[in-house]
Amino acid sequence: MNGDSNSSWPSLAFAEWKDTASTLHMWTQIVGKIRLTLTPWTNHSWHVTLYLTSRGLTTSPIPHGTSTFEIRFDFIDHELRILKSDGAARVLKLRPQPVAKFYREVMNALDEMELPVTINTMPNEIENPIPFDQDEEHRCYDREYANRFWRVLVQSDRVFKEFRARFCGKCSPVHFFWGSFDLAVTRFSGRPAPPHPGGVPHLPDEITREAYSQEVSSLGFWPGNSAMPTPVFYSYAYPEPPGFAEAKIQPDAAFYQPKLHEFILPYDAVRTAENPDEALLEFAQSAYDAASKLAKWDRASLEEKKPALHSQR
């Protein structure tokens, strides 16, 4: 690997790994839908997400009868590990292969481990979806860029958790949504929100409306797609308060994207900053400040009040 790929915040130009990104998106959807199918519903679809690990992404434990199992993507050794609470394990190599073959390998491994599950094979939140078991088109896997993507998520996850710790109101975990293929953390004002208009491709409107049933300010990282081939950090408010689009958000590279109704900070502006952590935290805080002040959140009751620290407990 070159020096850039070894950096904490590696470059991730979408054009250089778009085929791998499309394939990996579908692989994470397959694994995510296994968790979705077997896990009790949690508000705002928090039960479907994946989480960062020191090697990749994980489902966390999934119940199956009186057993549990976990599915882990490892982007260092490039393996998919399925681990069951009785000690059984399967390891599948992450390699260039069609989505349909990956789907069959995962489902066969689960059957062999006595963990049968049937999922909806239609991808969510993308245009022109191909059912997983029929997808021979998406088949690329570049180990270098899969690893880079994960390492960007690692850094983002670390800074997002620092930002989350400043808030004591209702707040989501920092988690990875496989539908939209992004890492996000969401703060809540505690007030209900008007019904969301829906319209997300291949996602039932009732799911979207429940996800946005309460007033939120959300922060995330998204690697881009063919329509917008730029990795970005984003922040939005729902419902968007009057004046939000005109707010002054820091750092200077941040801007409002009218089509998305989001403030955008290009990933490259963070990774090339003198202090990437400070640049990202400044963006997160200033966007939240704008959303919460314009919407008149009860910030006095929502801001974190840290207890005095003592040398002995």
More confident residue, 248 or 1: 248
Residue 182 to residue 45: CA distance in whole angstroms: 14
Does 231 score more than 60 pLDDT?
yes
Round to whole Å and give the CA distance between 268 and 78. 26
Q: In Å, how far are 87, 99, 108, 111 from 118, measured between CA atoms? A: 23, 16, 11, 10
Q: Write out the two tokens for 161.
A: 């958790």
Give the model confidence (pLDDT) of 287-312 as tens digits: 999 999 999 999 999 986 776 555 55
Contact (Cβ atoms closer than 8 angstroms) between residue 140 and residue 23: yes
Q: In whole angstroms, how far apart are CA 307 and each of 207, 303, 312?
A: 38, 13, 14
C-alpha to C-alpha distance for 26 and 15, rounded to whole angstroms: 18
For residues 71-88, average pLDDT: 98
pLDDT tens-place string over residues 127-170: 999 999 999 999 999 999 999 999 999 999 999 999 999 999 99
Give the separation between CA 103 and CA 15, rounded to whole angstroms: 26
How far apart are alpha carbons 72 and 83 in whole angstroms?
8
- For 163-194, write each residue's pLDDT tens digit: 999 999 999 999 999 999 999 999 999 999 99
The first and second tokens of residue 152, run together, are: 């960007």
Residue 5 has a pLDDT of 54
Predicted local confidence at residue 309, as pLDDT: 54
**pLDDT at residue 308, rounded to an integer:** 59
Query: How far is residue 161 from each of residues 14, 168, 245, measured CA to CA in Å?
Result: 25, 13, 26
pLDDT band, very low/low/confident/very high, at 7 (cuts 50, 70, 90):
confident
pLDDT score for 303:
85
Give 146's DSSP letter. H
pTM (2 decimals)? 0.95
The more confident residue out of 186 and 4 is: 186
pLDDT at 313: 54
Report percent pLDDT > 70 for the chain. Answer: 95
pLDDT confidence band for 3 (50 / 70 / 90): very low
- Reported as a pLDDT band with limits 50, 70 and 90, residue 17 is very high
Q: How confident is the model at residue 58 (pLDDT cuts 50, 70, 90)?
A: very high
Give the model confidence (pLDDT) of 28-44 as tens digits: 999 999 999 999 999 99
